Amino acid sequence: MKHQNKNYQIALDGPAGSGKSTIAKLLARKLGFTYVDSGAMYRATTLYLIENNLLDKSDKMISSHLKKIKINLKERKQCQIVILNNKDVTREIRTSIINRNVSNVSSKKEIREEMVKRQKKIGENGSIVMDGRDIGTAVFPNADLKIYLTASVYIRAIRRKKDLKDLSEKVSIKELIKQIQRRDDIDSSREISPLSKSQDSIVIDSSNLTIKEVLEQIVSFMPSQ
Ligand code: CDP
């Protein structure tokens, strides 16, 4: 199998709530690869900007803070833990306030350049599954396998509602559909590396598929041993 000789890279892109993180995590575990949730890096950056009252500040001011934003992704008890400057922010970065602000933050050129640089560096260390919006286009344009995972906006809203319920937040499906559509719009229309299907990616619509079925499909696209 190709990944026995060199680092094997799987890029998993798609819109908000399409199930990328769940699938990427399980896929990485199944294959023994490193899993990187690139969205968690943009979420942690958003949290930092909120906590330091920098959200509305100039790009120049924000850029001067980038080096101070230390993000570590760690595996603990089969979960990915997100550490922002030595603090565990795994739960905090999934809350509504971050959901509402992260797309604006991630559309900033300086932030994208810095995060993409960090993501490419992580990719040098071994075989990897990375999920996000621009992994197959900007981070690993030569990835061995590129998947574009999508689902209907209604299904994605239902999934997001469950995530928020786990965090004890109540938001209606109607409101979630609005938030998801807004985020899709910003993510797809931004100037730098917008969310888009690269020509060489395989599209999987997970609306009517179980997690197991999505995983099976992805594995079936990998070269056999
Ligand atoms: O889990 P969900 O799909 O809702 O979002 P996420 O993967 O955690 O990403 C949160 C946000 O970060 C996205 O809406 C994008 O604005 C941004 N993002 C990005 O711009 N590029 C990436 N590679 C990953 C996330």
Q: Convert the pLDDT of each residue in 183-224 to its tens digit.
A: 899 988 888 888 888 889 999 999 999 999 999 999 999 876
Q: Is the pLDDT of residue 1 over 60?
A: no
133 Cβ below 6 A of ligand 1:
yes
- CA 153/CA 169 separation, integer angstroms: 20
pLDDT given at position 79: 82
Amino acid found at 99 = N
Closest residue by Cα to residue 183 from 11, 10, 18, 12: 18
**Percent above pLDDT 70 for the chain:** 97
Q: What is the reported pTM? A: 0.90
Q: Convert the pLDDT of each residue in 57-92 to its tens digit.
A: 999 999 999 999 999 999 887 788 999 999 999 999
Compute the mean pLDDT over every residue in the chain, rounded to the nearest whole number: 92
Atom of ligand 1 lying closest to residue 139 CA: 23
140 Cβ below 6 A of ligand 1:
no
Residue 181: both structure tokens together: 């559509």
Strand blocks (E) in 44-201: 71-76, 79-84, 87-88, 128-132, 145-150
Q: Is the pLDDT of residue 4 over 70?
A: no
For a substitution probing ligand 1, which of 41, 133, 139, 147 has the most ligand atoms within 8 Å of its CB? Answer: 133
* Atom 6 of ligand 1, residue of closest alpha carbon: 39
Identify the bridge partners of residue 60 per DSSP, sorted by sequence position: none
- CA 23/CA 29 separation, integer angstroms: 10
pLDDT given at position 168: 79
pLDDT given at position 77: 75
First vs last C-alpha separation in the chain? 5
106 Cβ below 6 A of ligand 1:
yes
pLDDT given at position 224: 65
Could you give all domains of the chain from N- to C-terminal order, each with its CATH number?
Answer: 9-215 (3.40.50.300)
DSSP symbols for 165-219 = HHTT----HHHHHHHHHHHHHHHHH-SSS-S---TTPEEEE-TT--HHHHHHHHH
Find the mean pLDDT for residues 6-18: 92
Lowest mean pLDDT among 28-37, 102-111, 167-176: 167-176
Q: Is the pLDDT of residue 31 over 60?
A: yes
Q: Convert the pLDDT of each residue in 141-167 to its tens digit.
A: 999 999 999 999 999 999 889 888 887
**Side-chain half-sphere CA neighbours of 10 within 13 A:** 34
> From the CB of residue 28, how many other CB atoms can be counted at a distance below 10 Å?
22
Atom of ligand 1 lying closest to residue 46 CA: 12
* Atom 9 of ligand 1, residue of closest alpha carbon: 39
- Band of the pLDDT at 54, cuts 50, 70, 90? very high
- Band of the pLDDT at 5, cuts 50, 70, 90? low
